[in-house]
Chain A
Amino acid sequence: MATYQLNVNGQKREVNVDPSTPLLWVLREDLKMTGTRFGCGISACGACTVHLGGVATRSCIVPISHVADRPIITIEGIAQDAVGQAVQSAWVERDVVQCGYCQSGQIMAAVALLKATPRPTDQNIEESMGGNLCRCGTYPRIREAIKTASAQLKGGA
């Protein structure tokens, strides 16, 4: 066990866990932030996506000992910024979700995409969202919602 100081959604948090524990499980079980989901544990599905140091990251394969002082943003904190808000509201407006289990990760990936590429093409979307699995198959509406959010952000800017 070791103690780690984390910066989660702008707040300082301290946890005492085994250094091998993936960030995902620290968020879910130690910090009780269950919005970040467990889907595969091998970074194949993207359900656990968070922003680590501003980069969309699969939290299921990042040991807590590798996080250091990089800020962590999770689905619970994504509405703190304009892009996060726009994506969440586009998701609701387009009625994207079905079972909803993958959508935290989808939204985190979409926010990262729009921050890097405010006007994404279909190809940009396929590349950036390409590793986020949705078994319900909500992909067509995910695509629409990203475009909706992009338009909203442009309109508001």
Chain B
Amino acid sequence: MVAAIKQSEVSRRGFLRVSFAAASGLLVSLYLEPHRSQEIVAQEGNPTPPPQQPKVFPPDAFVNIRPDGKIVIQVNRLEFGQGVHTGLPLVLADEMDADWANVVGELAPAADVYKDPLFGIQMVGGSGSIAHSFQQYRELGAKTRAMLVAAAADRWQTTPDKCRTETSVVHGPNGQSATYAELASDAARKPVPATVRLKNPTEFRLIGKDVKRLDSPAKCNGSLKFGLDLDLPGMKVAVVAHPPVFGARVKSIDDAEARAIEGVLNVFEIPLVKGSGVAVVADKFWPAKQARGRLKIEWDTSGIEANDTTELWTRYRQLGQTSGAVAATRGDEKAIEKLAAKDRIVAEYEFPFLAHSPMEPLNTTVRFNGDGAEVWAGSQFQTVDQMAVAEVLGLKPEQVTFHTEMAGGGFGRRAVADSHVQREAATIAKRLRGTPVKLVWTREDDVQGGYYRPMHFHRVEIGVGPDGMPVAWRHVIVGQSITAGTVFESFTTKNGVDSTAVEGVADTDYNVPNFHVSVHHPKINVPVLWWRSVGHTHTAFVMETLVDELATRARMDPIAYRRKLLKPDAKKTLRSLDLLEKETASWRDKLPRGHALGVSCHESFGTGVACAVDVSIENKRPKIHRATIAVDCGLAVNPLSVASQFQAGLSFGLIQLMAKGAITLKDGRVEQRNFDGYVPAYIIDAPVAVDVHIVPSTEAPSGCGEPPVPVISPAVVNALARLTGKRYRSLPLVSL
């Protein structure tokens, strides 16, 4: 294993090792360290990271100092927009006192050292990048600095405590100085310190400051290479005709017309995770896609469950009338029944399937050489995908070199337990042994290909007390389990409850004395997946629209009502609400005629968020003139990045309110094909301006990738409710 990883490392960055690790053998010994975090795999969607200290790895695998002074920092997870390619290097560089102008971030390949310290696999999800690796990267930076200082102290025959560092230079007590590049090879021979002093926050030079993205220039001049841009000598391009109903099998293929297209090399049936498909391999994408369009395939759908969205709603609604597996309970489940009808609210909600549809269509390139393979993929799940490719090719995972490619969005879509895209690519590459093959999913494959945010139905009965506060809350959720049948099932599912379906309700910070939440997980032949903010996509909508309705009913200010209903220990949400109240004071009560205020707050992934929007109705659609966000994410490592995630992430969430923001099925077939039928938010649908305010904090940082998504849709419909008097409980928002 060590040899295999070493080989892949050397082929990727061998030139760096010469400058830093020299011929010390250090590289091999470092990789020998056993991995200790296997037991702490947590689920995507777990809002609170386990309390264990992150495992700290030796710095050599993370930092390389080039002779020209460039400091290359390995990023242990995918960059797909969330900013980790800047965020983690800046943490390490700060502790290292590296010259930020010369820091380069690189996406690390799959290797044990790059596993998430808490999740125990190499992955990005659960808004865990900064939350889990902040301490790890600080220690790595501090250790690297200590080794450089030790090398300098030796050189000057002094002690490390008499040296200081700044911008990639060590200064000695008598005016000596040496650059990190000059010291690198000596430093690499120093032992990695077991413990190291970290900076006091007052000593931070980068952490807590607005730091612009390292990848921005290359993304603005077109030079950045995403996975789809990969071009290898002799590479071929493959597309796959997927079954029209999930799990159907190829009965017969007439490929005469397809093969007649110039540039088409091969057409063959391949097994899929479920069912089978037809692969078309060509010199380039266009002939491959043309040929796929001319295939005549007869599909065998016998025994395959063919779903219809309308029928599914009927079934879900029926299920929702009865209690399911209990997710949370306190007080009396039947308390609601003792209240008069006038003191009860009954609300039913519908949330459709949603595709992630990242801008860069899914793709993976594989080259199989018989006794080894190379993979290039923008993967959120390197460890899982590497194992899957190995399995398809009959290799051990360590025989599969796995390169992490920059990804054009993902939102959970590149974190798939069954690695179906990588399996397809590997299956095709196996047939074309020796030839690199790039598998491209078209947008149609993406929109129709499943792995959606599951459909959900909620039924909520609320009993209201004389003071307008809820005294009883009975809540039934119906929706597929995301993890059922996957390796993640045991981590998220206990007693028949998949926590990713009930998070945000079962663990709500609202304090209701008689509180009961249960869930049904029907098994449906539609693959489902975590979609940015997972369960919170629907649970926050339900909670925040109902609480708003209660506030209106109680004739209370929406912020004051929430504050009163929140548990006192919901500190992050309470602090966010306080800040929101302050920051919206100038406009909240002074909206022009035809505009209304909408408020929401929600904690997810350990981050408390409060949101206020100014909304009017234009052309029968909500127009969001401004959004104000207050967020408590602990220490904001890069406030500019936190602001980015919120300013943009709100629009990601807004697909829930788009008229065509739904995936529907008829006779088992997806009715939408592309961005004409499944329509996300465009600039006209986005808030015109978003101001983001961060609660000052010295607490450990929590994630900001997902927390923007849950708050926006309820805030907007809460405003709409004030404008129209209607409550909006079925999404998408087809008409106002």
Contact = CB atoms under 8 A, between A and B. Distances in A.
B623 to A, nearest CB: 10
A5 to B, nearest CB: 19
A87 B284 CA distance: 33
A99 B284 CA distance: 25
A30 B442 CA distance: 19
Interface string B396-417: 0000000000111111000000
A99 B408 contact: yes
Contact of A44 (B223, B407, B675, B683): B675
B219 interface: yes
Nearest to B211: A95
Given A47-B359, A99-B409, A34 B683 contact: no
B657 to A, nearest CB: 13
Contact of B287 (A18, A96, A132, A134): A18
B132 to A, nearest CB: 20
Given A99-B407, A135-B359, A143 B225 contact: no
B220 A40 contact: no
A75 B222 contact: yes
A126 B442 CA distance: 27
Interface centre among B215, B360, B408, B680 (most CB of A within 10 A): B408
A21 interface: yes
Interface string B166-183: 000000000000000000
Nearest to B649: A137
A122 B688 contact: yes
A61 interface: no
B204 interface: no
Contact of B215 (A18, A38, A100): A100
B221 A135 contact: no
B345 interface: no
Contacts of A132: 682-683
B226 interface: yes
Interface string A135-149: 111111111000000
A1 interface: yes
B61 to A, nearest CB: 26
Contact of A130 (B285, B359, B684): B684
Contacts of A37: 226, 228, 359-360, 408
Contact of A76 (B222, B645, B680): B222
Nearest to A126: B684
A101 interface: yes
Interface stretch (B79-87, B424-432, B516-524, B582-590): B79-87
Interface string A10-38: 00000001101110010011101111111
Nearest to B215: A100
A141 B647 contact: yes
A18 B264 CA distance: 12
A10 B410 CA distance: 35
A55 interface: no
B224 interface: yes
Contacts of A79: 221
B409 A101 contact: yes
B556 interface: no
B640 A95 contact: yes
B231 A139 contact: no
Contacts, number: 196
A35 B358 contact: no
Interface string A79-118: 1000000001001100111111111100100000000000
A136 B652 contact: yes
B451 to A, nearest CB: 15
A41 B358 contact: no
B229 interface: yes
Contact of B648 (A101, A104, A133, A134): A134
Nearest to A90: B220
A87 B407 CA distance: 23
A129 interface: yes
B407 A95 contact: no
Nearest to B361: A38
B635 interface: no
Nearest to B679: A44
B440 to A, nearest CB: 8
Contacts of A95: 212-213, 216, 640, 644
Contacts of A78: 221
User: What is the interface of chain A mostly: helix, strand, loop, or mixed?
Assistant: loop
Contacts of A25: 284-286
B443 interface: yes
B644 A35 contact: no
B286 A134 contact: no
A101 B226 contact: yes
Contacts of A17: 286
Interface string B666-696: 0000000011100011111011111000000
B298 interface: no
Contact of B443 (A33, A40, A131): A40
A131 to B, nearest CB: 7
Nearest to A30: B284
A39 interface: yes
Interface string B79-100: 0111100000000000000000
A107 B221 CA distance: 9
A20 B291 CA distance: 13
A22 B286 CA distance: 8
B286 A38 contact: no
A42 interface: yes
Contacts of A75: 221-222
Nearest to B217: A92
Contacts of A45: 359, 443, 675
A142 B219 CA distance: 14
B359 A139 contact: no
Contact of B683 (A22, A40, A41, A130): A130
B216 A99 contact: no
Interface centre among B284, B406, B682 (most CB of A within 10 A): B682
Contacts of A91: 216, 220
Given A18-B286, A97-B215, A140 B675 contact: no
Contacts of B684: 126, 130
A56 interface: no
A39 B651 contact: no
A155 B693 CA distance: 31
Interface string B195-227: 000000000000000001101111111111110
B357 interface: yes
A125 interface: yes
A74 interface: yes
Given A17-B286, A135-B652, 17 more contacts: A29-B286, A41-B443, A45-B359, A74-B222, A75-B221, A95-B216, A99-B407, A100-B216, A134-B651, A135-B358, A135-B409, A135-B680, A137-B650, A139-B651, A139-B687, A140-B689, A143-B689
17 contacts: A25-B284, A32-B231, A34-B229, A35-B223, A38-B361, A41-B442, A44-B674, A75-B222, A92-B216, A99-B359, A100-B81, A100-B408, A104-B222, A134-B359, A137-B648, A137-B686, A140-B689
Interface of B: 80-83, 212-213, 215-226, 228-229, 231, 237, 262-263, 284-287, 289-290, 357-361, 406-411, 442-443, 640, 644-645, 647-652, 654, 674-676, 680-684, 686-690
The list of the 8 closest CB pairs from A to B, nearest first, reads: A35-B222, A101-B408, A137-B651, A100-B219, A99-B81, A75-B222, A98-B81, A34-B229
